[in-house]
Amino acid sequence: MDAGNNQASVHGAARCSSRRGLTIVELLVVCAVLAILVGLLMPALQIAREQARNVQCLAHEREFGVAFHAYHEARRRLPSGWQRESSDQFARSWAGHLLPYLEQSAIDPGRLAHGAAMNDLASAQELSIFRCPSDVAESQFALYREIGEHESSFQTSETLLATLPLSNYLGVFGVSDPDDVSGEIGEGPFREFRGCRWDDLRRGASNVALLSERTARKLSATWSDFPLDGEDAAGRVTGHACLGPNRDDADECEFDSRHDEHINVLWGDGRAGSVDSSVDRLVYQSMARRE
């Protein structure tokens, strides 16, 4: 009886001793397979995430479209691109006038720009609707006083005027650079002082762009009031279409995005869609003209 038990124990020990773990080679093979799977899945995951961000960006622009039409219904015209205040030191942009129609009537955009003491409110009043989810910039930017001529490069102003909340969406000024010409010269829907009516869009509302996007890597923009003597002041709330979207050689006030080879555009009829980075230059310019 004891001999049988001892023999069974010996056989059990032999079976146990035959079990072994993974060798180094097998571990390396498993790691290589996992690395390949991750390498295959990550690009697809990134593409899916960007597609979701792009859908959200288009949804933001459609909300602006609804707000623009509601504003026009109430005022018989669109807001001006920017409007100087009585002090002639600050201006309110189209975005500031549109806030009540975006369910943001409690926000006073003037408090963000008028004096350093009020700038603490900027972080508390970041509005997600003004941000493209694909842009990775900070929620605020510093605006300095402009020195020298606009054409001069690498301005080195050290006079901080305001810290403003960032926006990625700008009204379409036209084909001309809003920082190079008078604010009333713009060929598009959003000029200084003067708000457009639908009848002014002679090319048809569905063929005229109201709004597009720009990243902070070009020129930071805002939805709040802004000092008129700030660097590229008019370009902080409007943009223009000249060379083409997403071009490194384009002016800093042109439209730009982090989407894959396109920018998103809101048209006068309330439709939001994409314009390819390779769009013909004349077609691109035509979308920014009222006539």
User: What predicted TM-score, i.e. pTM, was given to this entire model?
Assistant: 0.81
Q: Is residue 25 part of a domain?
A: no
pLDDT of residue 155: 57
For the segment 121-172, what is each residue's pLDDT rounded down to a tens digit?
A: 444 467 999 999 999 888 999 999 988 665 544 556 788 998 999 999 999 9
The CA distances from residue 78 to 61, 89, 98, 272, in Å, are 16, 23, 9, 18
- Mapped onto helix, strand or coil, the DSSP state of residue 92 is strand
Q: Is residue 242 part of a domain?
A: yes
Q: Is residue 5 part of a domain?
A: no
Q: Is residue 192 part of a domain?
A: yes
Domain residues for the domain of 215 are 45-286
If you average pLDDT over every residue of the chain, what do you get?
86
Rounded mean pLDDT, 43-64: 88
Q: Is residue 197 part of a domain?
A: yes
Q: Is residue 1 part of a domain?
A: no
Task: Look at 14 and 88; give whichever has higher pLDDT.
Answer: 88
Q: Is residue 60 part of a domain?
A: yes
pLDDT of residue 148: 67
Q: Does the structure show a pLDDT above 50 at 118?
A: no
Task: Look at 114 and 147; give whichever has higher pLDDT.
Answer: 147
- Contact call for residues 143 and 225 (beta carbons, < 8 A): no
For the chain, the domain total comes to 1
pLDDT of residue 27: 77
Structure confidence at residue 106 as a pLDDT band (50, 70, 90): confident
Q: How far apart are CA 262 and CA 58, in angstroms?
A: 12
Q: CB count, 10 Å around CB of 205?
A: 17
Rounded mean pLDDT, 10-19: 50
Q: Is residue 217 part of a domain?
A: yes
